[in-house]
Amino acid sequence: MSSGLGGLNKSPNGVVIGLAQLALPDPHTRAELWEQTQKVVAMVGKARRSVAGMDLIVFPEYSLHGLSMDTSDDIMCTLDGPEVAALRQACVDNAIWGCFSIMEANPNGNPYNSGIIVNDQGEIQLYYRKLHPWVPVEPWEPGNLGIPVCDGPKGSKLALIICHDGMFPEMARECAYKGAEIMIRTAGYTAPIRHSWQITNQANSFCNLMQTASVCMCGSDGTFDSMGEAMFVDFDGTPMAVGGGRADEIVSCEMRPDLVREARVHWGVENNIYQFGHRGYTAVKGGAQDAPYSYMHDLVAGKYRLPWEDEVVHTDGTSCGFDTPERTYQPAEEN
């Protein structure tokens, strides 16, 4: 499939997405956080000027806060705070959709690592809290909002997952199961994860007949080096457009959710998102619709346990300098 030369040649059914390989910041004060917010706002304007037909600009995880894992109250964001207001206004001013990352204040525990998708009217269409923080490195509270899907530009269906989420096949499967045609994955990954990033982006697409658009932070903050690696993958697992390590580059591509819909309806062989729930339909009417997977039943029953569970070395964040947590997770707790 063609990317339409990065969206320069837009088809009637195309959705042009830009992935911003934003330079890695390192803010530790409210003023520095606001300065970085203004840089992201300026990049929204750059996206609009660079590709006139762009529908959605996506910023990486940590695009405001950097990789310091600083959980200070002083630099945490809220949905009704000035940083989010500025990002929403940037979408209005530039008549473009935007996907943004914030570290979100949580009065009942550790901050959340959150993402929002904003339409070109400045309205939040999707709000997600990262389900799988990158343990033991990240201190964020486990997300409690599930995996939402929203209507996107040109009638598309969008989902958003964050970084380490994409290493769990169940995350992409849930996005597709809820109707997502394009799954966005934002990240702050560093170079050692490059190969894993590439193969999971491709597998997440192919296994679910879903297009994926994924982007990391880029460059160095003097301590950490993020890899950039913007990556668009078609529903057959084929990379459509791939970025490199140039900070602040916006890599763009035309996605075709209409072709995703067509494949999901008409594919026989390898229509895995359908066949997962209809095992062996050639042999038995409608296929077997049971759940033969032990780990699913055990997880629901609160009994998930690996055969080597007692031998696992890292079971909290102490190896990365965090205190051993004493609170147990309360999934019904929302704030």
Annotated catalytic residues are 61, 130, 163
Q: What is the dihedral of CA 279, 236, 185, 5, to 10 degrees?
A: -160
> How close are the terminal C-alpha atoms of the chain, in Å?
43
Contacts 24+ apart (CB under 8 A), 149-153: 149/175, 149/178, 149/179, 149/180, 150/117, 150/125, 150/126, 151/125, 152/15, 152/55, 152/56, 152/97, 152/117, 152/125, 152/182, 153/15, 153/55, 153/56, 153/97, 153/119, 153/120
* Closest CA relative to residue 101, chosen from 174, 22, 45, 205: 22
Element (H, E) at 112: strand 112-118
Q: Per the structure block, which two tokens stand in for 15?
A: 């959705």
